[in-house]
Amino acid sequence: MDSINSFKGYGKVDEAEERSFRKKTKRRLIIISISAAVLVAVIVGAVVGTVIHKNNNKNSNGSNNDSSTLSSGIRAICNETLYPDSCFSSLSSVKTKSNKFDPQEIFKLSLEIAQKELSNVSSLPDKLIDLINDKSLKLALKDCKTLFEDALDELNTSIASTQATDNSKSNSLTSWLKIDDIKTWLSSALTDLETCLDGLAEQNSSSNVLVEMKTWLRNSTEYTSNSLAIVRNIVGLLDKLGVPMHRKLLSAVGYPDWVKSRDRTLLDQSKDAIRPDLTVATDGTGTHRTIQDAINAVGKKNKTRTVIYVRAGTYLENVVIDKAHWNIYMYGDDSSKTIVSGNLNKIEGTPTFSTASFIVTGKGFIARDIGFKNTAGPDKHQAVALRSGSDQSVFYRCSFDAFQDTLYAHSNRQFYRDCFITGTVDFIFGNAAVIFQNCNIQPRQPLPNQFNTITAQGKKDPGQVTGISIHRCTIKPNGQVAARTYLGRPWKDFSTTVIMESKIDGFVDPVGWIEWLPNTEPPKTIYYAEHQNTGPGAGVDRRVKWAGYRPVISGEEAQKFTVEPFIQGSEWLPHANVAFDSSL
């Protein structure tokens, strides 16, 4: 069993450093709780003070009062973050449009500070690549470059969303901000930075390159975390104060405004009635012979759907749909007939992040009736079938077939319905906000001396709106499975995984879950829970006794991990061929 940790390089950190981080985080969470009341007072005081100031222009000390309120407001806001010192010093060093305390402007400044800092270090991977000879580290640094580009895109998109109504007379934080979107994007940016460090540690956990990268990314990580904490806490406190939160409502037919008429027709049609824009066929009878060629023919940042039909066949290629390719709808003949297959793996030199047979980060991706495979085999260790960082992505009636690390739900909001997933070690992992609904999850026999772990969730920052939700799924073995099998193990300090209303077969070990580090209880800050599961493996009497594990949660608590509150699915999931249950 120990062998699993020896070749699963992800998440490995210096234990003394980890203990220090946990103590620091615990202290910060206590301070944050105390500071919440202070921030409420500051926000209320700022609002009242602004009204008084407008009605009393004769106040000669107005400027000094504004400066004092601004400084106090920044300090109160920063005390809500994990890194209050870097928050206060960075925000205090830039000029605001006025000396008045404006939570909206302060949040926008925090985003701009994070974006500028990451821009300053974005060229570091290329510089380090030129200085080293280690091939595996070069590949990991290449991944870092991609991850930095994606993180910058998330930050820039967040900034742009705050500027969308600059011409509006409204300065209300609740009217101009796409709250859920920005929390998702900032969570993803943090995940990108953490993934860079994970990849370097996977190759060589003691390398100077890793040490240097950690140093250079410290400010970027802290500033991004600060922005996420600011938006989460201010909005939460405004909500407690009774300030109404303005959300975009669904249209009368059950779709949000951005789902255009063609999308609605497309998603309501049967597969045979769909008219694709592009067709892929290995025999040359389509518009393209490979999936990647079809992707390359699609325009960038399309706001309307591009429909790609992939005919039956096995496509031996490593497909990449990058951040610039939006709203692609790809469907096959059946997940057992239309298959994307690769065999890249960690043992033969490819970093886990790049082993996937199919990679998608462009937003709004939908896959239907397609199989994703990595055929490297169990002895090649990490070998991903699919990696998704696509926001508001859907996988419907798809299959994911590999061994270790089968499905990498890396980041952003994702939804899997009626899918088949099989693997061995950590075969559903990542730090997306992801829901698996009505899926068949089937562990298979691993290598000798290995055990199976279905999930490994990677939430690193308490502000991230991420986690794995397994809802109304079936968990049973794929063939004969003699190895011990667990529902998962917490990969990071705030790992979040919930299994609810699912059927769990009796082959799952009665303890249910297992530590990441052998005989080391995970921190109290994880959130692992089960709710109303059935089957011979669903009993919780013999489950682990971790402080962060909840064998029973209320329906109200479980509801937080359903489609609407967790991934805002009712705002973007179509109701037809991609069906979903929005609640318990």
What are 512-543's pLDDT values in tens digits? 999 999 999 999 999 999 999 999 999 999 99
Please give the pLDDT value at position 556: 96
547 band by pLDDT with thresholds 50, 70 and 90: very high
Q: Would the pLDDT of 218 be above 60?
A: yes
**pLDDT, mean of residues 550-569:** 93
> Has residue 14 got a pLDDT over 60?
no
How far apart are the C-alpha atoms of 402 and 424, rounded to whole Å?
A: 8
Contact 234, 107 (CB under 8 A): yes
Q: Which of 445, 455, 446 is nearest to 498 (CA)?
A: 455
Quote the pLDDT of residue 71: 84
C-alpha 449: how far from chain center = 31
Q: Which helix (H) or strand (E) holds 558?
A: helix 555-559
Q: For residue range 474-504, what is the model confidence (pLDDT) as tens digits?
A: 999 999 999 999 999 999 999 999 999 999 9
C-beta pairs of 240-249 under 8 Å, 24+ apart in sequence:
240/40, 241/40, 241/43, 241/44, 243/172, 243/174, 244/174, 245/174, 245/179, 246/174, 246/175, 248/571
**pLDDT of 166 above 50:** no
Whole-angstrom distance, CA of residue 434 vs CA of residue 406: 15
pLDDT at 35 over 70: no
Complete DSSP assignment for 73-114? HHHHHHTTSS-HHHHHHHHHTS--SSSS--HHHHHHHHHHHH
Which pLDDT does position 258 carry in this prediction? 34
Q: What local confidence, expressed as pLDDT, does residue 271 receive?
A: 75
Q: Which residue has the higher pLDDT, 128 or 243?
A: 128
Give the pLDDT confidence score for residue 26 in this predicted structure: 56
Provide φ and ψ at 281, rounded to 5°: -150, 135
* Count of Cβ atoms closer than 10 Å to residue 97 Cβ: 9
Average pLDDT over residues 249-265: 44
Among the ranges given (21-30, 151-160, 249-258, 320-329), the one the predictor scored with the smallest mean pLDDT: 249-258
- β-pair partners for 446: none
Mean pLDDT of 99-108: 82
Average pLDDT over every residue of 105-110: 92
Token pair for 243: 């300030």
Give residue 169's pLDDT: 43
Q: Does residue 405 surpass a pLDDT of 80? A: yes
Percent of the chain with pLDDT over 70: 79
The model's pLDDT over 424-482, given as tens digits with 9 standing for 90+, comes to 999 999 999 999 999 999 999 999 999 999 999 999 999 999 999 999 999 999 999 99
Structure tokens at 41: 């007072």
| Residue 246 CB partners (closer than 8 Å, separation 6+) | 174, 175
pLDDT at 38 over 60: no
Tokens coding 433? 């906000």
Residue 564 has pLDDT above 70, yes or no: yes
- pLDDT above 50 for 8: no
Residue 51 pLDDT > 80: no
Nearby residues of 575 by Cβ (< 8 Å), 6 or more positions away: 254, 255
Using the predicted structure, report yes or no on whether residue 306 has a pLDDT greater than 90: yes
**pLDDT (average), residues 540-554:** 97
- Name the pLDDT band for 49 (thresholds 50, 70, 90): very low
Instruction: Please identify every residue annotated as catalytic.
Output: 426
The whole-number pLDDT of residue 241 equals 56
Residue 64 — very low, low, confident or very high, per pLDDT cuts 50/70/90? low
Least confident interval from 93-102, 115-124, 294-303: 93-102
Stretch 298-315: mean pLDDT:
96
For the residues 79-94, what does the mean pLDDT come to? 93
What is the pLDDT confidence band of residue 420, given thresholds at 50, 70 and 90? very high
In this prediction the pTM is 0.88
Who wins on pLDDT, 389 or 24?
A: 389
The confidence score (pLDDT) of residue 133 equals: 93
Amino acid making up residue 429: F
* Residue 249 banded pLDDT, cuts 50, 70, 90: very low
Closest CA to 501 of 528, 468, 543, 538: 538
198-222: average pLDDT: 94
pLDDT of residue 576: 36
Question: How far is 537 from 581, CA to CA, in rounded Å?
Answer: 24
How many angstroms separate the CA atoms of 145 and 123, rounded?
A: 8
Side-chain-side CA neighbours of 477 within 13 Å: the count stands at 18
Given pLDDT bands bounded at 50, 70 and 90, which one contains residue 176? very low
The least confident of 14-28, 130-144, 210-224, 337-351 is 14-28
385 versus 28: the higher-pLDDT residue is 385
Is the pLDDT at 327 greater than 90? The verdict is yes
Mean pLDDT of the chain: 86
From residue 400, how far is each of 351, 393, 404, 415, 440 by CA, in Å?
A: 19, 16, 12, 14, 10
Q: How many Cβ atoms sit within 10 Å of the Cβ of residue 240?
A: 10
Confidence of residue 570 (pLDDT cuts 50, 70, 90): confident
Predicted local distance difference test score (pLDDT) of residue 261 = 55
For residue 461, the model assigns a pLDDT of: 98
Q: State how beta strands 496-500 and 549-550 pair.
A: unpaired
Q: What is the pLDDT of residue 63?
A: 56
Give which of 176, 171, 179 is closest to 100, Cα–Cα.
171
pLDDT at 58 over 50: no
Structural domains for the chain: 2-240 (1.20.140.40), 314-324+333-571 (2.160.20.10)
The reported pLDDT for the residue numbered 252 is 38
Residue 274: predicted pLDDT: 87
**Whole-number pLDDT of residue 269:** 67
> 3-state DSSP call for residue 158?
helix
Query: What pLDDT is attached to residue 70?
Result: 78
Average pLDDT over residues 286-299: 98
Q: What per-residue confidence (pLDDT) applies to 205?
A: 79
